[in-house]
C-alpha cells in the first residue's frame, strides 16, 4: 500500500552537504501506523515530503497504491485559507481531489460531524482556535477519504488536552486490519506518538537506526530504546 | 485537457472569492490607478506637449504598475498556513495551478483596467468611443502577455525577502516588448489612424503572448517544486 525503497536525499553540496535521507526502506500495509521518531534535523519532514511527492528523492523510489489521490497530509500548518469558511475550504479541496460534485457537500458534512465540528462549518477559518483549526486541517486531509495519512508533527502548538484529544481522534481514524489506513507519523516526541504506532522507527541523520514492530512496548521502553539508538533525549533540538 | 482547465478554474475561482472577500490588492490597485492618473493630470503642462502624445504612455505606465500590485498577491496568499504545500501534495497539476493563477490575475487586472480606462478618458479628455473595440482588444492582448510573465515571476520570488521589490526589478525588463507594442498601437488608435497601420505591433503582441504563455506553463513547475 505504501512502500519506500532505498531512499536517499541530500541538501547542499560538498562539505556543507546535509544528508536528510540515507537508505530508508519500508513497506506498510492497511492498518499499519509507522511512528518515526528523531531529533530536529534528522530528516523526518524530508521523508514525509518524499512520500507525499513534494520532493523527488535523488535515489530510491516510493510507491503509493492509488497515487497522489490516496494521500492525506496533516502537518503543523493547516493548509486552510483563513478567509474562507471551513465548509468552503473543504469543498475546494474536495474538488481538487476529484470528489464528484454531488458528493462534496454531503462528504464535508459527514467529515465535520465526525470531527465534532458540524456547528463550525460556516465559520471563517481565521475565527477558529488553534485546536479547532487543527481539527479543520484533519477534516481537510480526510475529505477525499485517503488510504494513506502522512502526519508531520501534528501536535505542535497544541496544549496537553488538545493533543490528547487529537491522539484519540487519530487512533479512531486509523482504523485497523485490512480496511484500515496506512499512517506515517513523524515527531520528535516519543510520548506523543507511541500509542498510535504499530511500528516504530528512529531516524538519525537520515538513517533508520531502528525499525521494528512496536509489539507490547510502552512509551518508557520506546523512550529508553530511543536513547540507546539515537544517543540523546527525544526532545533534542 | 478538460480536466486541466477545470482544475485551473477551481484555483482561479477560489482566488477570486478570497480577493473579492478581502479586497486587499484590488482596492490598493484601483486607488493607485486613480491616484497616478490624477497626478499625471495635474502634473503636466498641456500647452507644452499635446495630450494625445502623452496619453498612451501614461495609460500603459499606470496599467503596468497597478497590475504589479495585484500580481504580488497571487502566491502570497498561498503562503498563509502553507496552503501551497497542500496544493502541491494534491493531484492538482502544476500547469493547472499556473493557469488558475493566470486566470485570476487576468480578472484582477481587467477590473483595474476597467476602472482605469474611464478615469483616463475623463482626466485626459481623450475621445475613445470610435476606437473602443480595438482599444479593448489591444489592452487584452498586451495584458495577457505581461500577466503571464508576471504570474510566473511572482511564483519565483514568493519565498524571497523583499518579494514585492524583486518582482518589479525582474519583471520590468520583460515588459518592454509588450509595452512598446501596446503604446504604439494605442497612440495610432487615439490618433485616428487605421488599425491596419499597427499590424506589425499587433503581431508582436500576439507572438509575445503565445511564446510567454507557453514558456511560463512549461517552466512554472521549477518555481514551486523543491
Alpha helices (H) along A8-43: none
pLDDT for residue A56: 92
Decide if A84 and B14 are in contact by the 8 Å CB cutoff. yes
The neighbour count for residue A134, using CB atoms within 10 Å, is: 24
Q: Do residues A48 and A109 share a domain?
A: no
Q: Does B21 touch chain A if contact means CB atoms closer than 8 Å? A: yes
Q: Report the gap between the CA of A177 and the closest CA in chain B (Å).
A: 26
Q: Does B87 touch chain A if contact means CB atoms closer than 8 Å? A: yes
Domain residues for B47? 2-224
* Least confident range of A38-47, A50-59, A188-197, B49-58: A188-197
Taking residues A180-203, report their average pLDDT: 86
Pick A217 or A92 by higher pLDDT.
Answer: A92
* Rounded Cα–Cα distance for residues A140 and B179 (Å): 43
Q: Left (φ > 0), alpha (ψ -120 to 50) or beta: where does B217 sit?
A: alpha
pLDDT for residue A176: 61
* Rounded Cα–Cα distance for residues B18 and B183 (Å): 33
pLDDT for residue B117: 93
Q: Do residues A139 and A152 share a domain?
A: no
Q: Which residues of A touch B (CB under 8 A)?
A: 49, 52-56, 67-69, 71, 73, 75, 77-84, 88, 92-93, 95-98, 125, 140
pLDDT for residue B44: 77
Instruction: Tell me the chain B residues in contact with residue A73 when contact means C-beta distances shorter than 8 Å.
Output: 85-86, 89
Q: Report the gap between the CA of A26 and the closest CA in chain B (Å).
A: 21
The residue whose grid cell reads 503581431 is B203
Instruction: Tell me the chain A residues in contact with residue B83 when contact means C-beta distances shorter than 8 Å.
Output: 79-81
| Within a domain: A69 | no
Q: Do residues A173 and A183 share a domain?
A: yes
Instruction: Tell me the chain A residues in contact with residue B90 when contact means C-beta distances shorter than 8 Å.
Output: 68, 93, 96-97
The neighbour count for residue A68, using CB atoms within 10 Å, is: 16
* Least confident range of A3-7, A99-103, A226-230, B200-204: A226-230
Residue B179 pLDDT > 90: yes
Q: Left (φ > 0), alpha (ψ -120 to 50) or beta: where does B81 sit?
A: left
Q: Do residues A122 and A230 share a domain?
A: no
Q: Name the percent of chain A lying above pLDDT 70.
A: 95
Decide if B14 and A98 are in contact by the 8 Å CB cutoff. no
Q: Does B88 touch chain A if contact means CB atoms closer than 8 Å? A: yes
- Choose one of A145, A169, A186: the last residue of a domain: A145
| Within a domain: A94 | yes
Domain count, chain B: 1
pLDDT for residue A233: 52
pLDDT for residue A177: 59
Q: Report the gap between the CA of A127 and the closest CA in chain B (Å).
A: 14
Q: Do residues A152 and A49 share a domain?
A: yes
Of A53, A80, A95, nearest to B10 by CB-CB distance is A95
Pick A225 or B184 by higher pLDDT.
Answer: B184
Q: Do residues A45 and A154 share a domain?
A: yes
The neighbour count for residue B44, using CB atoms within 10 Å, is: 14
Q: By CA distance, what is A79's nearest residue in B?
A: B83
Pick B102 or B159 by higher pLDDT.
Answer: B102
The neighbour count for residue B106, using CB atoms within 10 Å, is: 19
Contact of B217 with B151, CB cutoff 8 Å: no
Confidence grade of residue B187 (pLDDT, cut at 50, 70, 90) = very high
Confidence grade of residue A178 (pLDDT, cut at 50, 70, 90) = low
Question: Is the pTM higher than 0.80?
Answer: yes
Q: Does B81 touch chain A if contact means CB atoms closer than 8 Å? A: yes
Taking residues A98-124, report their average pLDDT: 92
Residue B47 pLDDT > 80: no
- Choose one of A93, A119, A145: the last residue of a domain: A145
Residue B23 pLDDT > 60: yes
Q: Does B20 touch chain A if contact means CB atoms closer than 8 Å? A: no
| Within a domain: A224 | yes
Residue B115 pLDDT > 90: yes
The neighbour count for residue A85, using CB atoms within 10 Å, is: 18
Residue A31 pLDDT > 90: no
Taking residues A160-178, report their average pLDDT: 75
Of A54, A82, A88, nearest to B80 by CB-CB distance is A82
Decide if A140 and B10 are in contact by the 8 Å CB cutoff. no
The residue whose grid cell reads 528523531 is A38
- Choose one of A91, A110, A145: the last residue of a domain: A145
Domain count, chain A: 2
Taking residues A90-116, report their average pLDDT: 94
Q: By CA distance, what is A82's nearest residue in B?
A: B80
Q: Do residues A51 and A152 share a domain?
A: yes
Confidence grade of residue B11 (pLDDT, cut at 50, 70, 90) = very high
Contact of B89 with A71, CB cutoff 8 Å: yes
pLDDT for residue A237: 36
Mean pLDDT for chain B? 91
Of A79, A83, A140, nearest to B22 by CB-CB distance is A83
Render pLDDT for A225-236 as a digit per residue (tens, 0 to 9).
Answer: 888 887 755 444
pLDDT for residue A235: 44
Mean pLDDT for chain A? 87
Q: Do residues A159 and A50 share a domain?
A: yes
Q: Report the gap between the CA of A217 and the closest CA in chain B (Å).
A: 33
pLDDT for residue A179: 65
Pick A9 or B50 by higher pLDDT.
Answer: A9
Strands A33-37, A182-187: parallel, antiparallel or unpaired by DSSP?
parallel
Taking residues A181-186, report their average pLDDT: 91
Say which CATH number the domain at A153 has: 3.40.50.300
Render pLDDT for A36-66 as a digit per residue (tens, 0 to 9).
Answer: 998 888 899 999 999 999 899 999 999 999 8
Domain residues for A89? 78-145
pLDDT for residue A232: 59
Decide if A82 and B81 are in contact by the 8 Å CB cutoff. yes
Amino acid at each position: 500500500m505504501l512502500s519506500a525503497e532505498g531512499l536517499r536525499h541530500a541538501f547542499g553540496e560538498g562539505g556543507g552537504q546535509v544528508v536528510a535521507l540515507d537508505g530508508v526502506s519500508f513497506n506498510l500495509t492497511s492498518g499499519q501506523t509507522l511512528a518515526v521518531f528523531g531529533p530536529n534535523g534528522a530528516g523526518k519532514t524530508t521523508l514525509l515530503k518524499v512520500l507525499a511527492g513534494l520532493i523527488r528523492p535523488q535515489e530510491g523510489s516510493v510507491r503509493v497504491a492509488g497515487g497522489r489521490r490516496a494521500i492525506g497530509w496533516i502537518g503543523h500548518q493547516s493548509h486552510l485559507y483563513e478567509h474562507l469558511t471551513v465548509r468552503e475550504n473543504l469543498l475546494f479541496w474536495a474538488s481538487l481531489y476529484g470528489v464528484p460534485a454531488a458528493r462534496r457537500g454531503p462528504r464535508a458534512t459527514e467529515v465535520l460531524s465526525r470531527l465534532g465540528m458540524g456547528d463550525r462549518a460556516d465559520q471563517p477559518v481565521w475565527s477558529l482556535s488553534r485546536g479547532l483549526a487543527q481539527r479543520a486541517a484533519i477534516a481537510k486531509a480526510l475529505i477525499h477519504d485517503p488510504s494513506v495519512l502522512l502526519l508531520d508533527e501534528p501536535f505542535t502548538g497544541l496544549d496537553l488536552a488538545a493533543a490528547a484529544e487529537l491522539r484519540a481522534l487519530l487512533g479512531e481514524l486509523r482504523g485497523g486490519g485490512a480496511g484500515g489506513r496506512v499512517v506515517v507519523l513523524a515527531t520528535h516526541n516519543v510520548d506523543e506518538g507511541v500509542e498510535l504506532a504499530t511500528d516504530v522507527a528512529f531516524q538519525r541523520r537520515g538513517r533508520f537506526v531502528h525499525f521494528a514492530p512496536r509489539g507490547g512496548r510502552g512509551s518508557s521502553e520506546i523512550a529508553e530504546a530511543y536513547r540507546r539508538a539515537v544517543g540523546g533525549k527525544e526532545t533534542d533540538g | 485537457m478538460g480536466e486541466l482547465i477545470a482544475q485551473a478554474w477551481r484555483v482561479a475561482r477560489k482566488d477570486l472569492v478570497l480577493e473579492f472577500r478581502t479586497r486587499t490588492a484590488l482596492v490598493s490597485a484601483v486607488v493607485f490607478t486613480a491616484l497616478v492618473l490624477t497626478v499625471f493630470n495635474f502634473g503636466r503642462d498641456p500647452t507644452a506637449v499635446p495630450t494625445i502624445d502623452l496619453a498612451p504612455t501614461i495609460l500603459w505606465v499606470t496599467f503596468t504598475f497597478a497590475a504589479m500590485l495585484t500580481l504580488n498577491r497571487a502566491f502570497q496568499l498561498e503562503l498563509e498556513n502553507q496552503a501551497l504545500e497542500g496544493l502541491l501534495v494534491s493531484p492538482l497539476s502544476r500547469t493547472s495551478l499556473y493557469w488558475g493563477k493566470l486566470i485570476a490575475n487576468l480578472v484582477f487586472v481587467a477590473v483595474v483596467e476597467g476602472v482605469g480606462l474611464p478615469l483616463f478618458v475623463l482626466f485626459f479628455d481623450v475621445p475613445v468611443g470610435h476606437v473602443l473595440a480595438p482599444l479593448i482588444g489591444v489592452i487584452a492582448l498586451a495584458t495577457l502577455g505581461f500577466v503571464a510573465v508576471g504570474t510566473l515571476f511572482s511564483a519565483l520570488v514568493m519565498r524571497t525577502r523583499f518579494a514585492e521589490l524583486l518582482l518589479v526589478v525582474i519583471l520590468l525588463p520583460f515588459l518592454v516588448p509588450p509595452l512598446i507594442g501596446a503604446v504604439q498601437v494605442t497612440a495610432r488608435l487615439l490618433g485616428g489612424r487605421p488599425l491596419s497601420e499597427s499590424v506589425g505591433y499587433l503581431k508582436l503582441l500576439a507572438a509575445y503572448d503565445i511564446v510567454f504563455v507557453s514558456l511560463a506553463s512549461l517552466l512554472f513547475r521549477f518555481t514551486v517544486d523543491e
